[in-house]
């Protein structure tokens, strides 16, 4: 079989333009084999030549590639090429799909081609971690949505039963509502005396090393994880925050702030420590002597 001749400089330019048009028509990307099949016969160069032109486009910032996670097969999955970063395209499309209502992962997958739907949760992981998309409790299966889940959507039947029972007992709805509010109101907690600074330091350092053994050598620990690990030691947010800030003041630890505080959710801000400069301390590290 004769080897296909390399394209001339003029043909290279034409092949590049054709590849660009093919990618623009395939919003969610396409493999090199599929790109080659979409080239007209007059410009259908070899697969190696297609990959060479794709690599050139990537180096110039005109083309993007995405490598699907390896599966059980010994054969690695094919790279997917696109005109825009695929992670950004999928994240934007998912947010548009969820604009009107929460949907299950299965329902979302139906909106994408197989090479995207197969790895949907991989694409969703960053925006779920960021809080842009949120898991909702099971209601005929777990769902994803843009808004925080509304308890009324999940407890309406139980709430109705509660009010119905109150009515049978002779209570008005307002009486039942007051009883619910009274039940939900937190009781008084005994005020915890602050720990001596030496003890607080010992406890915090030990927890950091437990969470991440390399913390003993200065590795950084995520403050929300540390807060959660010590929730039984420090009764409230303020006592934990103050203990950490005291260590920083004494130069026992280093604290680093989040670089994009505007992107944090309120829940994430509460889990971190306000640095009083418009951002929040996100990680902590033991200062090495």
Q: What is the pLDDT of residues 159-169, one digit of tens each?
A: 889 889 988 98
Residues with Cβ within 8 Å of residue 250, at least 6 apart in sequence: 197
Domain that holds residue 57: 10-82
Torsion (CA) 80, 83, 88, 94 in degrees, nearest 10 = -80
- Final residue in a domain of this structure, among 125, 145, 165: 145
pLDDT one-digit tens code per residue, 178-201: 888 777 765 444 444 567 888 999
Examine the domain organization and report whether 61 and 103 are in the same domain.
no
In a domain, 153, yes or no: no
Backbone conformation region of residue 278, classed left if phi is above 0, alpha if psi is from -120 to 50, else beta = left
> Does a structural domain hold residue 263?
yes
Position 268 pLDDT exceeds 90: yes
Q: Supply the CATH number for residue 60's domain.
A: 1.10.10.10
Domain-located, residue 96: yes
Q: What's the pLDDT tens digit per position in 92-129?
A: 999 999 998 899 999 999 999 998 999 998 898 888 88
Look at residue 38 and tell me if it is in a domain: yes
Structure tokens, 187:
């009781």
Report the percentage of the chain scoring pLDDT > 90: 54
Q: What is the pLDDT of residue 191?
A: 44
Q: Which helix (H) or strand (E) holds 126?
A: helix 120-130
pTM of this structure:
0.54
Q: Are residues 18 and 74 in the same domain?
A: yes
Place of tokens 């139980």: 158
How far, in whole angstroms, is CA 14 from its chain's centroid? 40
Same domain, 74 and 90: no
Find out whether 259 and 195 touch, Cβ atoms under 8 Å: no
Question: Whose structure tokens read 């499309």?
Answer: 93
Does residue 25 surpass a pLDDT of 90?
A: yes
Domain count along the chain: 3
């Amino acid at each position: 079989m004769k080897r296909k001749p390399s394209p001339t400089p003029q043909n290279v330019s034409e092949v590049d333009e054709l590849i660009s048009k093919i990618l623009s028509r395939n919003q969610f990307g396409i493999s090199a084999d599929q790109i080659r099949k979409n080239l007209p016969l007059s410009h259908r160069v070899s697969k190696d030549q297609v990959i060479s032109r794709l690599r050139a486009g990537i180096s110039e910032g005109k083309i993007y590639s995405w490598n699907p996670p390896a599966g059980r097969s010994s054969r690695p999955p094919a790279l997917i090429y696109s005109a825009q970063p695929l992670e950004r395209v999928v994240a934007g499309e998912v947010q548009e799909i969820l604009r009107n209502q929460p949907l299950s992962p299965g329902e979302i997958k139906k909106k994408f081609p197989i090479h995207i739907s197969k790895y949907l949760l991989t694409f969703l992981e960053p925006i779920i971690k960021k809080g842009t998309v949120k898991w909702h409790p099971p209601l005929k299966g777990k769902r994803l949505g843009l808004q925080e889940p509304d308890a009324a959507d999940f407890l309406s039947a139980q709430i109705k039963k509660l009010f119905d029972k109150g009515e049978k007992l002779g209570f008005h709805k307002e009486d039942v509502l007051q009883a619910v509010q009274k039940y939900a109101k937190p009781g008084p907690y005994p005020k915890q005396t602050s720990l001596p600074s030496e003890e607080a330091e010992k406890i915090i350092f030990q927890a950091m090393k437990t969470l991440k053994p390399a913390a003993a050598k200065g590795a950084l620990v995520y403050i929300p994880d540390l807060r959660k690990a010590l929730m039984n030691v420090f009764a409230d947010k303020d006592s934990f925050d103050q203990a950490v800030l005291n260590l920083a003041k004494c130069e026992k630890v280093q604290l680093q702030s989040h670089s994009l505080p505007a992107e944090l959710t309120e829940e994430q801000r509460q889990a971190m420590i306000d640095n009083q400069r418009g951002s929040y301390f996100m990680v902590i590290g033991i200062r090495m002597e």
